[in-house]
Structure 1
Amino acid sequence: MSIRITHSPATQAHTLRQSFAELYQQTSRLGYDAMIYDFTPVPFSMEGDLITPSLLHMNNVPTDMLSLWSEHGYYQADPVQTYALKTCAPFVWSYQRPEESALRVVLTERHQPVLDYMRDNQMPCGATVPLHLPGGGFGTITGITIGTQQESALAETLAELSFIAHSFQESVFPLFDSEMLTCQHVRLSKRERECLAWSAEGLTAKEIARKLCRSVATVSLHLNTATRKLGASNRVQAVVRAMHYRLLEH
């Protein structure tokens, strides 16, 4: 078992692990050998790239898979994740015959490292349930078979896998802390977010300074730093980008 959580108190993390253990048991009963769960409060960047999940959990996968997906860009090159964002329906996928599976509409050369890795590790096919959540959050639950498997057999499990996935998400979501629900793609300080939030309301730096009992120079510094971190060219664009990443909601 491997799990990547950005932050969570010990008791909370323990409860999450228990929940994942139960989920793995349920997917195993459906015939899946490995299971992956991921959650991100914002699924893609302003440039359209997938954002590495705040929570990424894997059962019965190769030891290097978690680090490859969470730290080395394999998540961004995963065609299953790319396709999952485009649909609300559970689907079966195949790396044995990708041109005959749902993945055919998204596959590019960029995805080749993931295809090679999955084939080399005898994880040729599986099924995924996309979880499009209120407020823009996104997750998936994926069951993977190891060795030779027919995609038609997996298709028969989709309805039950979907029920398990949505029930699990509903039960586990209350365990997510504020850190897990905050997009980690761009990190702004509390004061930077506060200044941007007031800027989003139409206040000038001088008016924000009066609200926060700070100098105009200090407020301007916070706004300029946030603008730079967000890759924006001006404060209006910075507010738009901060809203996309849901950084003004906390």
Structure 2
Amino acid sequence: MDEWKHLQLRKLSCEKDLQRAYRLVLDFFNYQGFEYCALAAYSGAPDRYTSKINMNNYPYGWDRLYEQNGYASNDPVIAHCNHSSLPILWSEKVFSEAPQLWQELNRQGLAHGWTQAVHDEHGTHYSLFSLARTHCPIEAEEHYGNLGYAIFASQRLHALAGKKLSDHMTPPLTCHLSPREIEVLRWSAEGKTASEVGRILCLSERTVNFHVCSCMRKLNVTNKISAVAKAAHIHVI
């Protein structure tokens, strides 16, 4: 079993795809006796995030129920994790000021679990990693026995999720093409030659080629086809 654990952790450390990494983590902790595994990653804090990644195998309908009832606003686990990277075990005492949420967790079979927060050092990304199960409370010995694995898994998933969130936040490329250059590229995208574009726009072929070369320079490409493709990609045409 220890050899299998080490193999899974090595795979996780090398995995670049978030979905596959999550599956590795889920399988790992299933073998450790946890039915449920969740990652919620945010750009910004959970109460004012700009984008979010949510991955879990919680019972069907739980995510929708949680969102519809606005549980995030009074979830004591989130309140704790906003300010601390220390793990928090779920318990009736922890949820004493959110009895309805605690009741729903129990009803869904999610009463026994814990959450580990990961805070990005630059403050741009924030993740919550949770493990839960339907049967028997999590004793301190078991918790600490799995804590190292959970910290490693949460940090790896956080890194992959942070990269994905950053990619989504990257502003689209912009390029300041003149109206005439855009016209030339639009007709070129229709398959028109330089001479045909010139006749349509009442320009000389030489002038059309001048505009094409200007577009290529501004778009940092080496030919007209690439200029058209890139202009379309950044929604200039």
Choose which of 61, 66, 69 in structure 2 pairs with 1:69: 66
Counterpart for residue 143 of structure 2: 154
User: Alignment partner of 2:74: what SS?
Assistant: coil
Structure with a larger share of its residues in helix: 2
Q: Do structure 1's residue 128 and structure 2's residue 126 form an aligned pair?
A: no
CA distances 1:113-146 after superposition (whole Å, capped 9, x unpaired)? 2111111122212121111013322111100021
Structure 1 pair 139/181, CA: closer, same or farther in 2 (3 Å)? farther
Structure 1 pair 53/74, CA: closer, same or farther in 2 (3 Å)? farther
Query: Would you say the 8 A contact 1:38–1:53 is kept in 2?
Result: no
CA distance in 2, matches of 1:50, 1:68: 20
Please, what is the CA RMSD of the aligned residues? 2.9
CA distance in 2, matches of 1:156, 1:86: 24
AA matched with 2:72: Y
Indicate the structure (1 or 2) with the bigger Cα radius of gyration: 2
Where do 4+ consecutive residues of structure 1 move more than 4 Å? 49-53
Query: Structure 1 regions of 5+ residues with no counterpart?
Result: 1-14, 183-250
Choose which of 35, 38, 58 in structure 2 pairs with 1:36: 38
CA distances 1:180-221 after superposition (whole Å, capped 9, x unpaired)? 689xxxxxxxxxxxxxxxxxxxxxxxxxxxxxxxxxxxxxxx
Counterpart for residue 84 of structure 1: 81
Higher mean alpha-carbon deviation, 154-163 vs 135-144, is at 154-163
How many angstroms does 1:172 deviate by? Answer: 4.0
Q: TM-score, normalised by structure 2?
A: 0.56
CA distance in 2, matches of 1:177, 1:89: 25
Structure 1 pair 135/150, CA: closer, same or farther in 2 (3 Å)? closer
User: Alignment partner of 1:176: what SS?
Assistant: helix
Structure 1 pair 67/163, CA: closer, same or farther in 2 (3 Å)? same
Counterpart for residue 52 of structure 2: 54
- Of structures 1 and 2, the one with the larger relative CO (CA 8 A, separation 6+) is 1
AA matched with 2:130: T
AA matched with 2:55: H
Counterpart for residue 176 of structure 1: 165
AA matched with 1:146: T
Choose which of 130, 138, 141 in structure 2 pairs with 1:142: 130
Counterpart for residue 27 of structure 2: 25
Q: Percent identity?
A: 15
User: Alignment partner of 1:54: what SS?
Assistant: strand
Structure 1 pair 50/179, CA: closer, same or farther in 2 (3 Å)? same
Query: Structure 2 regions of 5+ residues with no counterpart?
Result: 1-16, 172-237
Query: Would you say the 8 A contact 1:58–1:66 is kept in 2?
Result: no
Choose which of 93, 103, 117 in structure 2 pairs with 1:116: 103
User: Alignment partner of 2:37: what SS?
Assistant: strand
Query: Would you say the 8 A contact 1:34–1:145 is kept in 2?
Result: yes
Q: TM-score, normalised by structure 1?
A: 0.53
CA distance in 1, matches of 2:39, 2:169: 14
How many angstroms does 1:18 deviate by? Answer: 2.2
CA distances 1:160-190 after superposition (whole Å, capped 9, x unpaired)? 21122112322443233544689xxxxxxxx
